[in-house]
Structure 1
Amino acid sequence: MHDSSKDQRAVGFLLGLIDADAAARVRRRIGAPPARGNERRAAYAALKLTPVPSSVLVWILEEDDPKLNAAVYAHGSADPTMRRAVLRGVPFGPGRTGPLPVDTVLRKHAPDEPPVPQSVVARGLVGALRAATAMRPARSAASMVLGHRDWQTVAAADRERPLPGHARWALSVRPDCPPALRAQFGSHPKFDHRVRQAGVLAGPGPYATAHGPAAQVLKVLSLGRVMFPARVRGAEDALRPLVREHLGDREEAWAVLAQLLDTFHGTAPELIMTSGAIA
C-alpha cells in the first residue's frame, strides 16, 4: 500500500522554500492538506515509521534535547552505542558539555545498559583499540567511544601511533566519527564503500542533492525542521535555488511534481528540474 503521507511531507518540505502565500495557492491547486498544527507530535510519529541513514540520527542527537534523544533511542536504526550514549546523557552538540538529563519515561522503562566489554575494562579504550587484530574486537572497542572527549583521545592516540586497520575501520563507520578524524585515518575505495553502507552522510546538503529516491529523502528532510533544525538549513540552502528557478509559484509545475513523486527514482534536484521542464 502506498504511503501518501510520505508524498505529502516531501511536497510540504519543498513548499516551505517558497513564499507562504504562493505555497498556500499551490496547496489548494494540487489538493495538498495544509501544514499540521502540532508539527512536533506529527514529526515524532513519522520518525518511528521512517527508515533513516544513521547520520540523521546523529543530527537529531546534536540538538541535545532529552525528548529527541528518547525518540532516537526508540528508533529501529539506532545502534547499541547510540542507546548507551542516550542513557548516559552524552552530549553530541558542538561545544556542549554533559551529562544531559535523560527523558523521564525512557529512564523508567529502558533496560539496563549493556556491560562494558572486558577488553576495554582490562586495557582501557585506547589499549583495546590497539589490541584489535580482527573486526569483532575492533567493533567491540569502537562501540565504547562516547562523546567529544573520547573522540579527541582516539585522534591523539592515532597521531602518536597509527591505530590498527580494523580499529580504524570500525571507528570510521561510526556515524558520529568526526570527519577530520575519518580523513586522518586515510582513504581507500573499499573503506569508503563501507562508510557509505553504514549510512554515513557528508552532510544535509549532499544528502538533499545526491541521494534518492527523492520522495524518501525529502520526507526525511521534512522531519528536520522539528528534529534537527540546525542541520536541515544546509539542505534547504542547497535546494532553495532549484525550487525557485524551476518551480517557483507555477502551480502547473507543482502539480506535475506531485504526480511524478511517487514513482520517481532519481534525486530531488532531478525531480525538481524534470517537473519544471514538463510543465
Structure 2
Amino acid sequence: MRDNSTSGVAVGFLLGLIDHEDADRIRRRTGLPEPAETATTRTAGHNALLWSWTRKAVPVSVLLWVLQEDDPDLNVWVWRHISADNAMRRAIVRGVPFGTARTDPLPVAANLSREDEPPIPESYTRFGLLGALREGTSMRAARTAASMVLERSDWQAVTEADHDRPLPGFARWALSVRPDCPPALRAQFGTHRRFTHRVEQAGVLDGPADYATSWGPASHVLDVLSTGRLVFPARVGEAEDALRPLVREHLADHEDAWAVLAQLIDTFHGNAAELVVTAGAIA
C-alpha cells in the first residue's frame, strides 16, 4: 500500500479510533502514513487536499455539514465542489448562515461576490417565491424555483403555504431533496416509500453516523470522513462515535485484523461497518 493512497488515508481514519500506541504499532506493521498527514490544522499545505476533495462526488448532506461551519474560506471550496448546486452557490454569495448559532449574514470570501450568483429564475421575478414554486410544471422548473429558498424565513413561508394548500408534487420533490430542508417540512410533504427513496437517492442523510455506517464503498467514505476532520470538524465526531465500537470490537489492537483490512479496502464495495466486521472475521 502506498503511503499517499486513498486507502491509506481511509485506514488511517479508523486507526484514529483506537489507542495511539496501538495505532503507531499497527502503522509500522502495515506501512500506513503517520497521522500528521491528515492533521486538522488548516495551512497552505492543505490546498492540494481540498482541491482533490472538490472533485469527489459526495452526498449533498456532506456539503451541508461543511456549510454549517459558517466559514467563508470553506464555503469557497463548497462553491467549487462538483456536487454543489445552484441553491448552495446562491446562499454562499448571499452570506446565508447555516450553523444554528448564527443569525447575522456571513462574510463572503474576497474571491466571490454577488456577481457570481446563479441567474435569478424568471418565474421568481414574475410570481415571487411561492408563486414560482406553484407554477413549476416540470422537475427542472421546480428545482430552479426551489433554488430561491434560502433563509430560515423562506422555509417557514414554504411550510405555512404547503400547510394551507399543498404545493405541487414537483415542488415538494425539489424542496425535499435539498439537504437543508427542515425535517418537519420533509415529513409534512409525505412519507411514501417512493418519496423516501428519492430523498435517499439524492444523498440526503440523517447525519454523519448514517453516512459512515450505510454508504459505500468504504474506502471512499472513510477518505471523505478523514477530510471531514478538516472541513466539517463539528460533525465528523458523529461518524467516529458510530464506528468506534465496531473498530474496538472487531479490530482492536490485532495486527492481523488490520493487515486484512488494509488488503481488502481497495476492492471492498460494502460500507465501512461491513468492512470492519469482515476484516475481523477473516483474521
After the TM superposition, which residues 33-44 of structure 1 pair with which residues of structure 2 at under 5 Å, given as runs?
33-36=33-36, 39=40, 40=42, 41=46, 43-44=49-50
State the AA in 1 paired with 2:121: P
Q: Equivalents in 2 of 1:49, 1:118: separation in Å?
A: 31
Aligned partner of 1:263 in structure 2 is: 267
After the TM superposition, which residues 45-194 of structure 1 pair with which residues of structure 2 at under 5 Å, given as runs?
45-107=51-113, 112-194=116-198
Query: Is the CA contact 1:72–1:78 (under 8 Å) kept in the aligned structure 2?
Result: yes
Q: Which runs of no fewer than 5 residues in structure 1 stay unpaired?
A: none
Aligned partner of 2:219 in structure 1 is: 215
Aligned partner of 1:273 in structure 2 is: 277
**1:32 Cα shift?**
0.6
TM, length-normalised to structure 1: 0.92
**1:130 Cα shift?**
2.2
**SS where residue 264 of structure 1 aligns?**
coil
Which stretch of the first structure deviates more once superposed, 148-157 or 14-23?
148-157
CA deviations over 1:45-78 (Å, ceiling 9, x no partner):
4412322111101110010000110000011111
Aligned residue-pair number: 276
Q: What value does the CA root-mean-square deviation take over the aligned residues?
A: 1.9
Which stretch of the first structure deviates more once superposed, 263-272 or 134-143?
134-143
State the AA in 2 paired with 1:255: A
**1:148 Cα shift?**
2.0
Query: Is the CA contact 2:136–2:170 (under 8 Å) kept in the aligned structure 1?
Result: yes
Q: Equivalents in 1 of 2:155, 2:23: separation in Å?
A: 44
Which residue among 187, 206, 209 is the counterpart of 1:205?
209
Query: Is the CA contact 1:43–1:226 (under 8 Å) kept in the aligned structure 2?
Result: no
Does the alignment pair 1:248 with 2:252?
A: yes
Q: Which runs of no fewer than 5 residues in structure 2 stay unpaired?
A: none
Which residue among 208, 211, 234 is the counterpart of 1:230?
234
Q: Equivalents in 1 of 2:214, 2:3: separation in Å?
A: 23
Aligned partner of 2:10 in structure 1 is: 10
TM, length-normalised to structure 2: 0.91
Query: Is the CA contact 2:209–2:239 (under 8 Å) kept in the aligned structure 1?
Result: yes
